[in-house]
């Protein structure tokens, strides 16, 4: 069975993506932003992503059995009194028009409840027969958190939390208050360890109970009219409450023309670093709420396996706390935890409903476009870019890293999600600590307090980080032992933790071999790995994207397939 999972609806979505599942196996996955270069692809349908998935499999849209959308769009709009299409055929034409996807017949269009799609992405692709499932995000159609049980191939919802009490929107409101922007949760998480925790109730607005929490700042039954979600109203109410209980006013934000750049840029009245205590307090409050929910969920289900998805699942610090809970024996956090992952989940849910066996994830999300050596050479020649072709690109790159150079690494299939995992990465030696400032301030043009993470061979995990399990997706933090802190000074955060990626030879043989070559020079199979992109830019996809970012950012070299470009 051929199932095309999609996320993204024209004018009403973010993180558009597409996933092609054939007989229960992922054949292709991609995010729209990688093609359009518009980060998060707000309000866009996944046209480029769908076209790629079909091309990768050599299929047309008429060869697809089901198109599974990761939102119950008819229900979402009807609940708010908004118009829907008279027929499913018209809805499909709006989503995937014939002008772009010619067809003699329509595949069947199915709408999957948003949190059910998230839950399916966590459960069906985890490799676990059973587990407690926790979904946390801004919101789905009628919920912001879902607690469920996955067992015997089925998902059973146990309880949910309404959008007004969304922890995702609470965290977004704090991001907005600090001047980072509502979609900057990763920045707030990185800022939190620099601050001191204060009143986690925010004057009684957020209270933790035995197996959950309650919110006083926003009505539990909040329903916004004329919109498809409660985000704006929830954030507005939280902002109002924060202004009343915090001594520091919200950070002012404006757009100002920068003559040097020749365009408008975002500016804040205060340095967001001034809000580090607020960040620490919000992070602690989030953790307290989620830990309470997880205690109750594990108690009620009798499970020790915890499966997590939804945008809040990108909070690696929280995930580290969950992994170290004594009640949690196994933790799987879907690396496509955000809305990009519901295309995967919607396809998986439809496949599971049809009784198909779904192949679990095996340490990689590299299902995107790739270019062979001939195509890359054509791009380089057309651009007039000088390059060499070393006998062994991994060995040559390892020598550059060992002598302190910072290298763009573009290899194989593109990865999904916000974390580059050795296919579209910027690599550097993980020490000295000054590497952090060099990459933050001169290459990625971002705040100096933003942390970095390491990639290491899976077999080095115990030696370097006392790991007793693989962590292949860079989505869980773990303490860095004292003996390894100097070795990974640029990839250890101020709180003594890091967010590692363990690399297996099976999942990524080339990257694994690169790490081994690095060890030949340094004694340790570990590098600093950050996503290959500039500030406010999606991760690079094509060789042309890589060359463009290389031209703007002062990297020392670019390993583009088998070719090496030096500055």
Which pair of structure tokens corresponds to residue 419?
């974390």
What is the average pLDDT across 529-554?
96
- pLDDT, tens digit, 9 for 90 and up, residues 52-109: 999 999 999 999 999 999 999 999 998 888 899 999 999 999 999 999 999 999 999 9
Tell me the pLDDT tens digit for each residue of 286-343: 999 999 999 999 999 999 999 999 999 999 999 999 999 999 999 999 999 999 999 9
pLDDT tier at 226 (50, 70, 90 boundaries)?
confident
Handedness of CA 517, 417, 360, 311 (dihedral sign): positive
For this structure, is 14 an active site residue? yes
Half-sphere exposure (Cβ direction) of 152: Cα atoms closer than 13 Å: 1
Q: How far is 515 from 526, CA to CA, in rounded Å?
A: 6
Find the catalytic residue in 14, 40, 48, 493: 14
pLDDT (0 to 100) of residue 81: 86
- Domains annotated on the chain, with CATH: 2-114 (3.30.420.40), 165-284 (3.30.420.40), 373-566 (3.90.870.20)
Query: Is the pLDDT at 260 greater than 90, yes or no?
Result: no
Q: Whole-angstrom Cα distance, residue 286 to residue 167?
A: 7
Evaluate whether 562 touches 389 at the Cβ level (below 8 Å).
yes
Please determine, for residue 113, whether its predicted confidence score (pLDDT) is greater than 90: yes
Q: How confident is the model at residue 263 (pLDDT cuts 50, 70, 90)?
A: confident
Count of C-beta atoms within a 10 Å radius of residue 224: 15
pLDDT class of 227 with cuts at 50, 70, 90 = confident
Mean pLDDT over 388-409 rounds to 98
Q: Is the pLDDT of residue 360 over 80?
A: yes
Would you place residue 261 in the very low, low, confident or very high pLDDT band (cuts 50, 70, 90)? confident
What does the pLDDT look like over 138-196, one tens digit per residue? 999 999 999 999 999 999 999 999 999 999 999 999 999 999 999 999 999 999 999 99
Rounded to two decimals, the pTM is 0.97
| Listed residue (253, 251, 232, 219) closest to 172, CA to CA | 232
Handedness of CA 215, 217, 223, 226 (dihedral sign): negative
Q: How far apart are CA 135 and CA 119, in angstroms?
A: 7
Give residue-wise pLDDT tens across range 12-29: 899 999 999 999 999 999
């Amino acid at each position: 069975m051929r199932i095309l999972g999609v996320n993204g609806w024209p004018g009403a979505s973010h993180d558009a993506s597409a996933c092609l599942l054939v007989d229960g196996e992922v054949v292709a996955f991609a995010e729209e932003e990688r093609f359009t270069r518009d980060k998060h692809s707000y309000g866009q349908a996944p046209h480029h992503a769908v076209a790629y998935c079909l091309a990768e499999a050599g299929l047309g849209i008429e060869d697809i059995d089901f198109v599974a959308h990761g939102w119950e769009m008819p229900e979402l709009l009807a609940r708010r009194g908004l118009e829907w299409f008279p027929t499913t055929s018209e809805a499909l034409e709006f989503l995937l028009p014939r002008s772009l996807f010619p067809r003699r017949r329509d595949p069947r269009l199915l709408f999957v409840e948003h949190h059910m799609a998230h839950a399916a992405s966590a459960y069906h692709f985890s490799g676990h027969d059973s587990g407690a499932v926790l979904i946390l995000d801004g919101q789905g159609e009628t919920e912001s958190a879902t607690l469920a049980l996955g067992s015997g191939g089925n998902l059973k919802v146990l309880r949910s939390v309404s959008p007004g009490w969304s922890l995702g929107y609470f965290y977004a409101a704090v991001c907005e208050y600090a001047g980072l922007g509502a979609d900057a949760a990763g920045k707030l998480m990185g800022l939190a360890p620099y601050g001191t925790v204060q009143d986690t109730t925010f004057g009684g607005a957020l209270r933790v109970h035995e197996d959950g929490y309650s919110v006083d700042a926003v009505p539990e039954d909040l329903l916004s009219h004329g919109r498809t979600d409660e985000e704006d109203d929830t954030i507005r109410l939280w902002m109002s409450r924060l202004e009343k209980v915090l001594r520091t006013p919200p950070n002012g934000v404006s757009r100002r023309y920068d003559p040097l750049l020749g365009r408008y840029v975002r500016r804040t009245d205060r340095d967001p670093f001034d809000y580090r205590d607020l960040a620490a307090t919000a992070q602690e409050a989030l953790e307290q709420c989620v830990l309470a929910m997880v205690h109750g969920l594990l108690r009620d289900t009798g499970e020790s396996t915890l499966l997590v998805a939804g945008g809040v699942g990108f909070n690696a610090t929280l995930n580290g706390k969950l992994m170290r809970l004594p009640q949690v024996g196994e933790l799987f956090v879907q690396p496509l935890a955000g809305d990009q992952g519901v295309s995967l989940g919607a396809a998986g849910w439809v496949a599971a409903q049809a009784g198909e066996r779904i192949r679990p994830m095996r340490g990689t999300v590299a299902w995107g476009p790739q270019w062979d050596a001939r195509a890359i050479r054509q791009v380089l020649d057309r651009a007039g870019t000088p390059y060499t072709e070393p006998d062994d690109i991994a060995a040559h790159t390892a020598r550059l890293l060992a002598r302190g150079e910072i290298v763009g690494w573009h290899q194989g299939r593109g990865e999904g999600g916000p974390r580059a995992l050795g296919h579209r990465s910027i690599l550097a030696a993980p020490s000295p600590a000054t590497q952090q400032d060099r990459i933050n301030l001169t290459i990625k043009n971002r705040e100096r307090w933003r942390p970095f993470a390491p990639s290491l061979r899976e077999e080095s995990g115990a030696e370097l980080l006392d790991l007793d399990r693989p962590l292949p997706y860079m989505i869980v933090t773990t303490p860095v032992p004292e003996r390894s802190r100097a070795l990974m000074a640029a990839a250890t955060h101020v709180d003594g933790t890091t967010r590692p990626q363990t690399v297996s030879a099976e999942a990524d043989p080339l990257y694994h071999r690169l790490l081994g070559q690095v060890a030949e020079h340094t004694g340790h199979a570990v590098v600093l790995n950050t996503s290959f992109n500039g500030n406010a830019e999606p991760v690079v996809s094509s060789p042309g994207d890589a060359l463009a970012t290389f031209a703007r950012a002062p990297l020392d070299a670019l390993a583009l397939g088998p070719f090496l470009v030096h500055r």
